[in-house]
């Protein structure tokens, strides 16, 4: 049995992971993390599955084999440090991390295996594999990224869009291309080699990312969309399973599934 600890249990992703983990025959839920100000009994009554709760990060990791984290950057940093101290792997899908936050993740990865992804869907992992193939063969084509999410998403552009942009830029053989966020006064005409990123926030869209490659004469659009957060939750749990037994280091989802 894989003993799993979980952060962000009151959030959309945390609840999705909790629901799937509770029904998985090979997973035992250890406990979940809540904010100190929350009443554990009140929170427990709202969860989709029974779960012991704590507001202490040190207690969260006790007796766990792996921690799955979909929370807030400040929480992620504390959980990464606790996981490294306890010697257990970390699966993190938290986005919006600062350079300092990322440095903490990297330090934790020197002691335990860490898989970090802005998007835990299998389709996105394979998109990271596909896009370099396209860009390498179409080096002069214009590239734009359009991402759509629900109105409540806190960060823009999405972590997934930024990760896809990094994949695209790394695949170019020329000097690094500039990223342009949106198009407005002074940025509307394209400059050679630019990669544009556009964020849309409306309604209840779970997540949709489109990569547009175009010339004057033809274009290719590659779109991935998620119809349910279960896709992310399934990917996170599969990553947790595959992370066990690996040496310390920072892994991507592609490292585990491709």
Active site residues: 149, 153
CA distance 116 to 21: 19
Tokens of 128: 């990271």
Give the angle subtended at the CA of 122 by the CAs of 14 and 202, to the nearest 5°. Answer: 60
Prior bond to 157 cis, omega within 30? yes
Say which DSSP state 201 is in.
Answer: E
Cα 250 to Cα 83, 94, 105, 222: the distances in Å are 13, 15, 8, 28
**Cβ-proximal residues to 233 (8 Å cutoff; 6+ apart), any chain:** 13, 16, 17, 19, 20, 120
CA distance 31 to 29: 6
Tokens of 158: 């999405």
């Amino acid at each position: 049995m894989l003993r799993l600890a979980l952060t962000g249990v009151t959030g959309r992703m945390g609840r999705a992971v909790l629901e799937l983990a509770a029904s998985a025959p090979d997973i035992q839920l250890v406990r979940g993390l809540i904010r100190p100000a929350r009443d554990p009994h009140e929170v427990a009554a709202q969860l989709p599955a029974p779960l012991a709760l704590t507001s202490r990060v040190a207690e969260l990791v006790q007796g766990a084999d792996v921690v799955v984290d979909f929370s807030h950057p400040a929480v992620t940093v504390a959980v990464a440090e606790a996981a490294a101290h306890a010697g257990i792997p970390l699966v993190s899908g938290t986005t919006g991390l600062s350079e300092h936050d990322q440095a903490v993740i990297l330090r934790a990865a020197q002691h335990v295996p860490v898989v970090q992804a802005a998007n835990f869907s299998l389709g996105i992992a394979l998109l990271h594999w596909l896009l370099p193939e396209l860009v390498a063969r179409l080096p002069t084509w214009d590239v734009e990224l359009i991402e759509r999410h629900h109105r409540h998403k806190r960060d823009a552009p999405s972590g997934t869009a930024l990760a896809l942009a990094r994949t695209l830029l790394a695949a170019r053989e020329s000097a690094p291309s500039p990223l342009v966020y949106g198009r407005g006064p002074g940025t509307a005409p394209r400059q050679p080699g630019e990669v544009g990123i556009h964020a849309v926030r409306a309604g209840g869209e779970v997540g949709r990312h489109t990569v547009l490659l175009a010339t004057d004469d033809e274009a290719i659009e590659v779109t991935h969309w998620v119809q349910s957060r279960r896709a992310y939750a399934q990917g996170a749990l599969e990553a947790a399973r595959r992370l066990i037994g690996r040496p310390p280091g920072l892994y991507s989802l592609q490292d585990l599934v491709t």
